[in-house]
């Protein structure tokens, strides 16, 4: 017994000696070699299609930049890590990227819950992190090294509420949301608040879990409540089927959703039942603008599938980072952080990106109508000038640069009615 313990002790000590390093001089990213960018996301778990799409977009962007000569002569090298969609692993993986791989910046994560787990590590190590698609306001509140290139839940939820009240003249709305998804819940809460503040009424609130196969129970109950519109802020996998089952139950009300609908598989799953629905999105794959069409064509050629919203955001996040590195002239963390924070009107495929003082992206949302397997542009809703004066939804538009109401401390969540 004693011998074994001693042996163990000896082995451990030796291992430790081999593995130790000096403390006090940890820096990331400065230097002249290739620019190391860490990408972390779910590549093999339940939501791996999201992580994969985003990665594709980022990699394509990096290759484009490298082909054009890199940034100030330095090539971008992406180091990828898989967190399997678990927040605990996201934190571990980010630690590895920062400390072992010494990346200059991080791209990730798709899901707010994973971003929230990992962001403190990035903030503590003073490594800038840009999230392509985490929409929960709390993510960028972690610290001044955390950024995002997408809009936040308060804004997107509000967009659809405004659209249904003003454009569709809806008075009664039902909501069917994914209760396991922070994104879906966020949109649900803000839609509800905004819709009610415009005089509308929420007649039914039902939920499901990602992976559920049957929604007829919820939909039948919703049908009985007789809504004008049904808000379904979930992901395409379930939404396609929900749309189908809605039609089979004879429900006529249009479905409304967010950018989580945007994926090529949506059409295969929902088919003709999707016609007449609307979503809010960053961009439209059918937007005729040459920049977007080139992006779509390049992506299709490279990956053999049309890009979804996540791929576009991944692409933009890498481009924004590269642009910031160029402007900063180095990858030294303070300079890089400041450069990213100063991103103004950057022409991304997901819109003109400006980062406000809360490090969130200010850009308009487009409302698209679904018709014959295409997203057809319907209207744009911009952040400024869309918040009706004097309503309690003012904190909800905290994603805008306008207004003193954009205080960093508990913003929209503070007034959340759902306790």
- Cβ closest to other proteins, residue 68 vs residue 409: 409
The C-alpha atoms of residue 44 and residue 50 are separated, in whole angstroms, by 10
Four-point Cα dihedral 56, 59, 63, 69, nearest 10: 150
Q: Tell me which of 27, 32, 46, 167 binds other proteins, using CB under 8 A.
A: 46
Q: How many CB atoms lie within 10 A of CB 154?
A: 28
Which residue number, 208 or 375, has a Cβ lying nearer to other proteins? 208
Q: From residue 110 to residue 149, what is the string marking binding to other proteins with x (rule CB under 8 A)?
A: --xx--xx--x---------------x-x-----------
Residue 91 touches other proteins, criterion: CB under 8 A? yes
Cα–Cα distance, 175 to 214 (Å, whole number): 16
208 binds other proteins, rule: CB under 8 A: yes
- 3-class DSSP state for residue 103? coil
- Binding of other proteins by 265 (CB under 8 A): yes
Between residue 212 and residue 241, which ones bind other proteins under the rule CB under 8 A?
A: 212-214, 216-218, 220-221, 223-224, 237-238, 240-241
Q: What minimum distance in Å lies between the beta carbon of 206 and other proteins?
A: 5
Return the residue of 77, 166, 244, 379 that touches other proteins, per CB under 8 A: 244
Write the binding mask 287 to 326 for other proteins: x where contact by CB under 8 A, - elsewhere.
----------------------------------------
Is the CB of 162 or the CB of 206 nearer to other proteins?
206
By CB under 8 A, the count of residues binding other proteins is: 85
Peptide bond into 252 cis (omega under 30): no
Q: Select the span of 31-39, 156-164, 177-185, 356-364 touching other proteins (CB under 8 A).
A: 177-185
Please identify which residue in 146, 175, 230, 269 interacts with other proteins, judged by CB under 8 A.
Answer: 269
The Cα–Cα gap between 76 and 61 comes to 10
Backbone angles phi, psi at 414, to 5 degrees: -60, -35
- Minimum Å gap between C-beta 370 and other proteins is 14
Would you call 386 helix, strand, or coil by DSSP? coil
Give yes or no for a contact between 413 and 139, defined as CB atoms under 8 angstroms apart. no
Binding other proteins (rule: CB under 8 A), the pick from 34, 70, 75, 96 is: 96
48 binds other proteins (CB under 8 A): yes
Per CB under 8 A, contacts with other proteins among 179-198 are 179-182, 184-186
11, 13, 19, 23 alpha-carbon torsion, rounded to 10°: 170
Strands across the sheet containing 374-381: 201-208, 172-178, 229-231, 255-257, 278-281, 365-371, 374-381
DSSP state of 163: I
């Amino acid at each position: 017994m004693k011998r074994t313990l001693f042996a163990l002790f000896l082995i451990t000590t030796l291992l430790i000696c081999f593995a130790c390093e000096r403390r006090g001089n940890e820096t990331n990213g400065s230097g002249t070699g290739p620019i190391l960018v860490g990408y972390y996301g779910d590549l093999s778990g339940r939501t791996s299609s999201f992580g994969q799409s985003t990665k594709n977009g980022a990699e394509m962007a990096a290759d484009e930049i490298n082909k054009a000569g890199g940034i100030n002569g330095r090539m971008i090298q992406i180091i990828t890590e898989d967190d399997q969609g678990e927040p605990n692993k996201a934190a571990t993986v980010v630690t590895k990227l920062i400390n072992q791989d010494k990346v200059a910046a991080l791209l990730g994560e798709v899901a707010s819950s994973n971003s929230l787990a990992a962001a403190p590590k990035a903030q503590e190590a003073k490594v800038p992190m840009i999230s392509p698609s985490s929409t929960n306001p709390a993510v960028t509140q972690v610290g001044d090294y955390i950024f995002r290139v997408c809009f936040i839940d308060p804004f997107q939820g509000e967009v659809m509420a405004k659209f249904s009240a003003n454009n569709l003249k809806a008075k009664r709305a039902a909501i069917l949301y994914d209760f396991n998804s922070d994104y879906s819940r966020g949109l649900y809460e803000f839609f509800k608040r905004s819709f009610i503040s415009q005089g509308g009424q929420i007649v039914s609130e039902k939920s499901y879990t990602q992976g559920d196969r049957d929604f007829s129970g919820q939909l039948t109950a919703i049908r009985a409540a007789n809504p004008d519109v049904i808000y379904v802020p979930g992901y395409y996998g379930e939404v396609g089927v929900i749309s189908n089952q809605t039609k089979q139950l004879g429900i006529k009300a249009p479905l409304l959703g967010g950018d989580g609908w945007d994926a090529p598989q949506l059409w295969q799953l929902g088919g003709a039942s999707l016609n007449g629905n609307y979503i809010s999105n960053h961009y439209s794959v059918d937007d005729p603008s040459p920049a977007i069409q080139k992006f779509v064509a390049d992506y299709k050629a490279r990956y053999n599938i049309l890009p979804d919203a996540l791929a576009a955001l991944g692409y933009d996040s890498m481009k924004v980072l590269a642009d910031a590195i160029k402007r900063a002239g180095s990858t030294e963390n303070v300079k890089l952080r400041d450069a990213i924070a100063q991103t103004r009107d950057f022409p991304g495929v997901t819109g003109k990106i400006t980062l406000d003082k809360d490090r969130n992206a200010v850009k308009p949302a487009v409302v698209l109508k679904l018709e014959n397997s295409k997203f057809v542009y319907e209207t744009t809703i911009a952040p400024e000038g869309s918040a009706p004066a004097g309503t309690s939804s003012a904190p909800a538009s905290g994603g805008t640069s306008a207004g003193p109401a954009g205080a960093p401390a508990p913003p929209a969540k503070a007034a959340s009615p759902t306790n």
